[in-house]
Amino acid sequence: MIDLKGKNAIVTGGSLGIGTAIAKKLAELGANVAINYRKHDAEAKAVAAECEKMGVKALAVQADVSSFEDAQKMVSQVVETFGGLEIMVCNAGINWDGVSWKMAEEQWDKVIDVNLKGYFNYCRAAIPVFRGQKYGKIVNVASINGLRGKFGQSNYAASKGGIIGYSKTLARELGNKNINVNVVAPGLIETEMVAQMPEEAKQKSLAEIIMGRLGQPEDVANVIAFLASDAARHVTGQVLNVDGGQLIA
């Protein structure tokens, strides 16, 4: 039984999709949860309200993950409001696809700023807290496309591959302070982003999945809850694929 009672967590990108499922799962297991959002105000506040119904404290904080200053402010606010911080889940991400020979500089920069620099910003803000208390759980959400590449997604795949390298480095740097750092790499998960995919591309990806079905946000959230708990105290520097076998198909 995973028990997160008394723990305090931040989930970036918690207003939609996988982030919402993560926030709810952590709250269900007893953690106080703060989510950040950039523009989905009503959705973020609704998620926070659902978490509070589970008997925990919850916050919805408007913050741009690509802003170093916003990350510092949010971590400080959470520590002050909740009385501490033990779990950091970096999940916020975007895609802006295009083949590499047509990709605009803005496309590259925006995806890297949100998907990779955003993770640095929040981990960087949380690490001093974790080091000071000699305890912390960092779980970064990447993608199987960061492991294999994906046609038309050079910016996205580079950002997700960067997350994996960054997380493995943090695991080496922080392990002696009792801080676990791991990565979850989802495959095709039924989210708003996937719903917008062309049907032909969706069916092609679905055909890769050994289990023969789309993953659900809850499938990712369950693995993250494990990695955020003391049940995974001896797991660090790992990449756990939540993809129904898509990567090995």
Annotated catalytic residues are: 156
Residue 221: how many other CB atoms lie within 10 Å: 25
H or E stretch covering 140: strand 136-141
Residue-level length of the chain: 249
What is d(CA 150, CA 101) in angstroms, rounded to the nearest whole number? Answer: 14
Residue 9 three-state SS? strand
Q: Under the phi-then-psi rule, with left for phi > 0, alpha for psi from -120 to 50, and beta for the rest, what region is 236? A: beta
Cβ atoms of residues 238 and 140 within 8 Å: no
CA Rg value for the chain: 17
Helix (H, G, I), strand (E, B) or coil at 171: helix
Alpha helices in the chain (DSSP H): 17-28, 41-52, 68-82, 105-112, 118-133, 145-148, 154-174, 192-195, 199-206, 217-227
**11 phi/psi in degrees, rounded to 5:** -125, 115
Secondary structure of residue 247 in the 3-state scheme? coil
Instruction: Tell the burial category of 103 from Cβ atoms under 10 Å away from its Cβ (0-12, 13-18, 19+).
Output: middle
